[in-house]
């Protein structure tokens, strides 16, 4: 009986905090959109150049894209916890390309340089259609938490063997603000375990961790430059190769 109560209590806390994070982030998005509309109205009244007004419309479009992404993340987390999701062979590079395109559209005013480095051109892993969500959330965090004029992300894809099983190793190395060492262990935790200081990273990275666990893989975050957490991050993902591909890619 106690175990059942703990399960329900955990589910209640998770739902409550997920709701809190969702409302907090959506409220911020609406505030930015509202401010941008007011500024556009002011600029129009003063007959300011069209170029200046377009910038605010781009900002509104960006916030709307982020709002859609937030809703998708919340829905996907809910579905992961409620339904059993079967795995199937999924091609990595096509999902990664889709994620990169979505990310660039979401940040039209950012100068984004994403390089994909790999000796392979086609790799199947055991996953599902939400693999692109994994890539999108990591890329979006690399861009949101970056103060450089040019956002740089290197995506390095390789195949490694661990205890006689083949895994795809995917590294996302960015030049962002980095993640403090004492936060590296908590950023992937369930939403109800993440403090408000997560700055909106909670839902996205919680979803990433849940999906990687579902795939039978692993995820961690390291410093891009060893010993210096302020010079960017390296998100490292391991996902099992598709069974039909094990032993050769």
Q: What is the pLDDT of residues 229-248, one digit of tens each?
A: 888 999 999 999 997 554 44
Kindly list the domain boundaries of the chain, sorted by start residue: 2-82, 88-240
CB 128 within 8 A of CB 167: no
Q: Reply yes or no on whether the pLDDT at 159 is more than 50.
A: yes
Q: Reply yes or no on whether the pLDDT at 117 is more than 90.
A: yes
Say which range, 2-6, 142-146, 214-218, has the weakest mean pLDDT.
2-6
CATH of 2-82, one of 1.10.287, 1.10.357, 3.10.110, 3.30.1360: 1.10.287
CATH topology of domain 88-240: Heat Shock Protein 90 (3.30.565)
Average pLDDT, the chain: 79
Kindly indicate the confidence band of residue 13, based on its pLDDT and cuts at 50, 70 and 90: very low
Q: Of 130, 12, 150, nearest to 77 (Cα)?
A: 130
The model's pTM is 0.70
Question: Residue 91 has which token pair?
Answer: 């091609």
Neighbour-count burial of 82, counting CB atoms closer than 10 A to its CB (0-12 exposed, 13-18 middle, 19+ buried): exposed
The stretch 206-233 carries a mean pLDDT of 89
Neighbour-count burial of 51, counting CB atoms closer than 10 A to its CB (0-12 exposed, 13-18 middle, 19+ buried): exposed
CB 135 within 8 A of CB 104: no
- The reply to whether domains 2-82 and 88-240 share a CATH topology is no
- Model pLDDT, residue 58: 72
């Amino acid at each position: 009986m106690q175990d059942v109560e703990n399960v329900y209590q955990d589910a209640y806390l998770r739902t409550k905090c997920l709701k809190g994070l969702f409302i907090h982030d959506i409220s911020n998005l609406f505030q930015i959109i509202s401010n941008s509309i007011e500024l556009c109205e002011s600029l129009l009244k003063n007959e300011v150049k069209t170029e200046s007004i377009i910038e605010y419309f781009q900002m509104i479009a960006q916030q709307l894209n982020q709002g859609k992404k937030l809703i998708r993340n919340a829905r996907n987390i809910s579905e992961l916890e409620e339904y059993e999701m079967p795995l199937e062979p999924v091609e990595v590079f096509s999902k990664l390309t889709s994620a990169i395109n979505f990310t660039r559209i979401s940040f039209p005013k950012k100068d984004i340089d994403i390089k994909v480095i790999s000796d392979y051109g086609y790799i199947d892993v055991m996953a599902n259609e939400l693999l692109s969500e994994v890539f999108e959330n990591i890329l979006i965090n690399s861009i949101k938490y970056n103060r450089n004029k040019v956002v740089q992300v290197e995506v390095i894809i390789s195949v490694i063997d661990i205890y006689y099983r083949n895994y795809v190793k995917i590294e996302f190395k960015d030049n962002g603000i980095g993640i403090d060492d004492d936060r590296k262990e908590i950023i992937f935790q369930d939403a109800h375990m993440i403090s408000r200081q997560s700055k909106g990273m909670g839902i996205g990275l919680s979803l990433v961790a849940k999906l990687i666990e579902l795939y039978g893989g692993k995820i961690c975050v390291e410093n891009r430059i060893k010993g210096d957490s302020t010079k960017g991050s390296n998100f490292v993902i391991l996902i099992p190769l598709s069974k039909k591909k094990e032993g050769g890619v």
